[in-house]
Amino acid sequence: MKPNARATWVGGVRRGKGVVTTGSGTLSQSQYFEADDPKSKGTNPYELIAAAHAASFSMALAEELSGAGFTPQRIATTVTVTLEPQSVGWTVTAIQLDVLAEMPRATQGDFIRAAVRAKTNCTISRLLKANLAMSAKLQIAEPRNHPKVRPSSDNLKVSKTKKQSIGRSSPKP
């Protein structure tokens, strides 16, 4: 499986805007903006990370509960992504998962054990520990009044870089 998405950003970071389209078509030319622009209608990359993590964790928890013999009626997960300024720039320093499940027959202990396993096994949670690969190519554009674009031969390819944890918070009891 290789899901994909495409994003295009136009302009500088403060006044620019972008559109994102997912391979499934669920998001199609959906607008996104800088995270701290309260006037903008659209999403931002950090909100999309939170949404992906909430969805993935909810499915992982449903799987863990099913494996333990329980059938949840409802799982509601809220994920909050915390961004803080660091010397290298804005950095995701914490992700908080808050989950509420409705389920018959389970005890609080059954639920907590399944939730801890889901947090460990969730695909997006594990992504935070992944090696990263990047391919980047600079294409130099002429000023706006000259729409010609000339390709550049400056390319960057980085693969199998190790990701270091920065400010990872421990789960609340």
DSSP state of 165: P
Q: In what helix (H) or strand (E) does residue 108 lie, and over which residues does it extend?
A: helix 108-121
| pLDDT tens column, 81-129 | 988 999 999 888 889 999 999 988 888 989 999 999 999 999 999 997 7
Please give the Cα distance from 56 to 44 (Å, whole number): 18
Pull the structure tokens for residue 79.
Answer: 């994920």
How many other C-beta atoms are found inside a 10 Å radius of the C-beta of residue 80?
13
Read off the pTM: 0.75
- How big is the CA angle at 48 (ends 103 and 70), to the nearest 5 degrees? 15
- How big is the CA angle at 144 (ends 143 and 146), to the nearest 5 degrees? 75
| pLDDT tens column, 146-163 | 444 444 444 444 433 333
